Amino acid sequence: MAITNTRWIPCLAALALGWLLPFPAEAQAPERPNILLIMAEDLSPRIGAYGDPVARTPNIDRLAREGLLFERAFTSAGVCAPSRAGIIMGVHADSWGAGHMRVGRGGYAAVPPPEMKAFPELLRAAGYTTLNSRKTDYQMETGLAGTFGGPFTIWDESGVDDWGDHGADKPFFAYLTLEGTHESQVWPTWSLPRSFLQLVMLPMRVANHSTWIHETDPSSVQVPPYYPDTRTVREDMARHYNNIEAMDAEVGKLLAKLEEDGLADRTIVIWTTDHGDGLPRAKRWPYDSGIRIPMIVRWPGVTEPGSVNAELVSGVDFAPTFLQAAGAPIPEYVQGRVFLGPGKQPEPEWIYAARDRIDEHLDRVRAVRDRRYKYVRHLIPDQPYVLPIAFRNTMPMMQEMNGLAESGALTGTPALWFRETRDAEELFDTDVDPHEVHNLVGEPAFAERVARMRAALDQWLASSGDLGLLPEEEIAERFWPGGVQPTTAVPTISLHDGQVHLTSASQGASIGFSLNDGAWQLYTAPFEAPAGTEITTKAIRYGWTESDEVVSSIPKD
């Protein structure tokens, strides 16, 4: 079989997993559920079902009455890209080099080990249609600041608003991000742009704020003790609640469409967020304000309506849980556990979180938590807690707090975050001190607990392969030697015993193909195609440049 021509085409769609064997017949059973993951951005449990007295969230509250509410769900990082990288792989971002925010600023993309694949790609290989709304942020590419795009093998369709007409004959996995609660949407509607990025985001904010259903009274919000109780702080928090209500309405529309499509009874619905609040001292931090998330699951036949779960759940648990629900194999490299449904695994004693470089400033923080206590280690303690992050400093309340701190007018608990150096270790009793402002390290009554959690973190750092402990320049050189992004080898097309075989010389490359200019399909095993069929194929190793396309035709007899 001869290759007739090759050509370049922009990255638009989907590829495949040449290294996977065909899945067993039982994995293709029609009773496999659809999976709908609805992920709001930058939001702690400011939801009525979690007891928040200000929140107006009738749709999410109804979902909680119909499903299972998780009290102790956490992400592995307090900021979007490392958190989403951990979610998509089922592996903590630092274990495969995606821990910095964002890696593209360091001049590279994260390149996971060749056997490691994003769980939606594994679902796709198992027979699911995989759908994504817009945001990706997996740290495996650098275009558009890494926020959008990524390995095109992961999704059948990206940029969708819902699941369309999928779900009738073939199960789908849909990962829909609701961006209205993002940090940038808390800024005043008509605030003067101070950068090109802010100018670009202004129309998005104006459009989002036009969907507000009510406007929250700033006097009604509850100000955490680590903020000064000022009008500016209350106004920012009030806008956050306005955005939350608008997001809740979007959730209601999605749930209504499930009902209209007749899919509610065979669809697992997960509503959650990518990390905690997009507010200062929350977003970007491994404190509970940054990593504790709301999560509600409605799984027909599995979850009991109105039930509550107190177990620890981590963002890296999503991948194995969804794979198990789909009847797909769970790779050995996955660090999470199945937290719900058939094959549910025991609750771990600890969960872990990390903070590394944030935009333009180096940092290195690690944390371990059980159901009650949080231990935090600052690996660069001789610098301030508050680093001058330009994007965060756009928030009016952050500008105000910076000004108060500089003038010496910030006192009491809010001043703790503005200290010039950090406590190298912190221990918090989150039952007594949910805002984590009273450090228990050094108190004799807690010496044993500090020692135990210190040892747990040491063991984790030693066993998890934490690349964030290395200089970032070393990580970049490992992934892109000499600062040059490697290119995936062009696939080879061959015909054996009437079947088409696709291979790539790049270890761990995913391969996709299109027949007669049709939709891209995921290559998982040799397949038959009629004589005269034109086959287009290309490959990608995560974090590398995708290969050229190869076009070939099956000879006619």
What is the end-to-end Cα distance of the chain in Å, rounded? 12
pLDDT tier, 8 (very low <50, low <70, confident <90, very high otherwise): very low
What pLDDT shows up at residue 247? 98
What confidence tens digit (pLDDT) does each residue in 280-335 have? 999 999 999 999 999 999 999 999 999 999 999 999 999 999 999 999 999 999 99
What pLDDT shows up at residue 122? 98
541 pLDDT above the threshold of 50: yes
Distance CA 529, CA 538 (A): 18
pLDDT tier, 206 (very low <50, low <70, confident <90, very high otherwise): very high
φ and ψ at 11, to 5 degrees? -70, 115
What confidence tens digit (pLDDT) does each residue in 84-95 have? 999 999 999 999
Q: Where are the domains of the chain?
A: 1-30+486-557, 365-482
pLDDT tier, 31 (very low <50, low <70, confident <90, very high otherwise): confident
Distance CA 367, CA 453 (A): 9
What confidence tens digit (pLDDT) does each residue in 138-147 have? 999 988 888 8
Distance CA 510, CA 547 (A): 10
13 pLDDT above the threshold of 80: no
Number of H helices, E strands in the chain: 11, 19
Element (DSSP H or E) covering residue 510: strand 510-515
Q: Is 482 exposed, middle or buried (0-12, 13-18, 19+ CB in 10 A)?
A: exposed
What tokens does 123 get?
């679902």
Stretch 112-116: mean pLDDT, rounded? 98
Distance CA 107, CA 421 (A): 29
159 pLDDT above the threshold of 90: yes
Bridge partners for 555 per DSSP: none
Distance CA 164, CA 174 (A): 10
17 pLDDT above the threshold of 50: no
What pLDDT shows up at residue 319? 98
Task: Provide the percentage of residues in the chain whose pLDDT is more than 70.
Answer: 95
CATH number of the 1-30+486-557 domain: 2.60.40.10
What pLDDT shows up at residue 28? 34
Task: Provide the percentage of residues in the chain whose pLDDT is more than 90.
Answer: 89
In the DSSP assignment, the letter for residue 138 is: -
pLDDT tier, 37 (very low <50, low <70, confident <90, very high otherwise): very high
Check: CB of residue 546 under 8 Å from CB of residue 538: yes
What pLDDT shows up at residue 34? 98
Q: CB under 8 Å to 275, separation ≥6 — which residues? A: 42, 75, 77, 78, 79, 80, 83, 283, 290, 291, 293
9 pLDDT above the threshold of 50: no
In the DSSP assignment, the letter for residue 283 is: T
What confidence tens digit (pLDDT) does each residue in 267-283 have? 999 999 999 999 999 99
**∠ CA 443-447-450, rounded to 5°:** 110
| Whole-number average pLDDT of the chain | 93
What pLDDT shows up at residue 467? 98
What pLDDT shows up at residue 193? 77
Distance CA 49, CA 429 (A): 24
What confidence tens digit (pLDDT) does each residue in 334-347 have? 999 999 998 999 99
| CATH for 365-482, options being 3.40.190, 3.30.2000, 3.30.310, 3.30.1120 | 3.30.1120
Of 278, 277, 259, 280, nearest to 269 by C-alpha is 259
367 pLDDT above the threshold of 50: yes
What tokens does 273 get?
């967020």
Active site residues: 80
259 pLDDT above the threshold of 80: yes
What pLDDT shows up at residue 195? 76
What pLDDT shows up at residue 27? 32
What pLDDT shows up at residue 199? 85
